[in-house]
Structures are given as C-alpha cells and as structure tokens.
Amino acid sequence: MAKVFIAGEIPEHALDLLKKTDLDIDVFHGDKLIDHDTLKKGVSDVDYLITPLSTKVDQDILDSAPKLKLIANFGVGTSNIDVEYAASKGIPVTNTPFVSAVSTAEVTTALIISLLHRVVEGDQVMRTTGFNGWAPLFFLGHELSGKTLGIIGMGQIGQEVAKRMHAFDMPILYTQRHQLPTAKEVELGATFVTKEELLKKSDVISIHIPDTPQTHHYIGVDEYKMMKSSAVLVNAARGPVIDELGLLDALNQKEIAGAALDVYEKEPHVDDGFKKLKNVILTPHIGNATVEARNAMAEIVANNTIAALNGESIKYIVNGVE
C-alpha cells in the first residue's frame, strides 16, 4: 500500500479527501515543528510527502526517502525545499498558489490601517496606562486618503492589495520586472515606476515578492535611506527579502517612521529590538491564516497527492518535473 507522510497537522478537509483512497496516512502531531531527525525517519518509506512551508526539506531528507514520488508543499513559497535537488531525483515539488491571495491582501490592508492609525499602540495604552479623555492633539495618526502606496511586486497578492487600497483613495505606485497591461493599471489606479522612484515617493511601502537568491535583502540599508522619514514599511511576503537589522537601525535612527512585519528573516525568531518599539506591529505569519484559505490549500495538496497516486496530472509543479 502506498504511504503519505504529513509533516504537520493540516485541515481535516485534506484528511477527509485522502481517507477516500487506499493510502496509508501518517501525520506528525506535536506542539512544536517537526525536527530534522523525526522528518528523516518519517519519510524513509513513504511515496508522498505533504509538508508545511515551515519545514526544511534538504538533501539529507531527500536522500532518506528512496521511494518518494511527490512533495506537496502546504504554502505558496518553496524556499524550504531544495527543489533543484528534488528535480535531479525526479521528484516533483508542488505549491498552493492563488488561493491565499485574498487573505494575505486583507491582512496587509489591516496592517497598513493599523499602522497609520496607531490601532495596536492605542490598544496597548488602554490595557496599561489608559487615557485622560479625548483631546485635540492626543494620539494623532494619519489618514490613508491621499497618501501614496508603493507596492513592490504586483503579482496576484499585490494586485489584491492595490484593489483594496485604491478604494481608500491612495495613489498607487508599483515596481517589478514587467509592466502590467494599461487596462489593468487603470483598473487598479496604479503607475509603473522604478524601484528608486517608488522608494523616494511612497508614504507606505508594501512588499509582495518571493524569497529567491535574487530578492534576498531586496530592501536594505541603501533603500531605507531613500525612503521618506515619514514613510512606513509593511512586509507580509517573506522575511529574507528585507534586511531586518538594517530596518531596526533605520527605525531607531528615525530614517523611517514605522513598520509592520508578518514574516521574519530568521523565522520564528524576532529580534527583541523590534518588540521595544511602539511604532512597529508584529504578527505571527498570519497572512493566509483563515479557514477559507487553509481549506483551499489543503484541498490542493490532497488532490495532488491523489492525482500522483492515480497516475494523473499534478497541478502547480514548481521544479519542472512531470
């Protein structure tokens, strides 16, 4: 009987689909993420691996899985997997694109609003010192209307963010390798500019690019210096695309006004320096943490596993192995 190892708890929806097959299903249960040795043992005799994007699948793991025919990554990114080495062994790697775009865009929107209106900071005030009552100059934030939003990476998530922020009357600049069709730019109220122009003109900068060798520290010390001193940075993409230590220094030196982070360079570690700053919002990688998005992701990994079992076409292969 073919076997699938699931390297972390996933929505029951996926298990319901897998249980309709004759697969032998083994799920790792634990309060913490699966460790390397447990994963290595878990994949030693399996045909299929379903793994969360927080779990590293390196050459050692792949060499320990001689029967492996598919790695279904529960997440959009695949930087946790050595996809090239998997390809060399003829193992397709899949991801779960598209279905989390709305949830991630909604979280990004929430972070932008909360940062400019000091919502989280205000919550902390009410839970600690309290306030003396409404006053004309007390706890002032900023309206979104009329502020320029710069979107780095206008893929599906970036476009969903633009759609929402356009409704707040924010002029939108964006940068990426290729310009969007004019009709799409008009629909989103977005203007294509260089990276440098975006950094210099934007009041809010939101990042939506993948973690690749080319995007590592895409925003670093030089980029922080280009930004307005009144600008804020939001990262709900991947931690390593920004230089975190450089960001912390920029915040402390007041080179920029604030930041909201949902992802981290050495996740799940968060530098204590960020925790001390009132103008920083920190959330625990909840970009697509909705029932709707996670169930849709679960359906993709389950259906791809079932397709592999049945010798059918697999969707969303990222490493070119058919």
Question: What proportion of the chain, given as a percentage, has pLDDT over 90?
Answer: 97
- Catalogue all structural domains in the chain, each as residue range(s) with its CATH number: 3-98+291-309 (3.40.50.720), 101-282 (3.40.50.720)
Q: Per residue in 246-281, pLDDT tens?
A: 999 999 999 999 999 999 999 999 999 999 999 999
pLDDT band at 309; cut points 50, 70, 90: very high
pLDDT in tens, 91-146: 999 999 999 999 999 999 999 999 999 999 999 999 999 999 999 999 999 999 99
Residue 30, pLDDT score: 87
Q: What is the pLDDT of residue 31?
A: 85
Residue pLDDT, tens place only, 172-224: 999 999 999 999 999 999 999 999 999 999 999 999 999 999 999 999 999 99
Contacts (Cβ under 8 Å, ≥6 apart) of 62: 68, 82, 85, 86, 89, 91
- Which residues are identified as catalytic? 238, 267, 285
Q: Above 90 in pLDDT, residue 80?
A: yes
**Confidence label for 164 from pLDDT (cuts 50, 70 and 90):** very high
The pLDDT value given to residue 39: 97
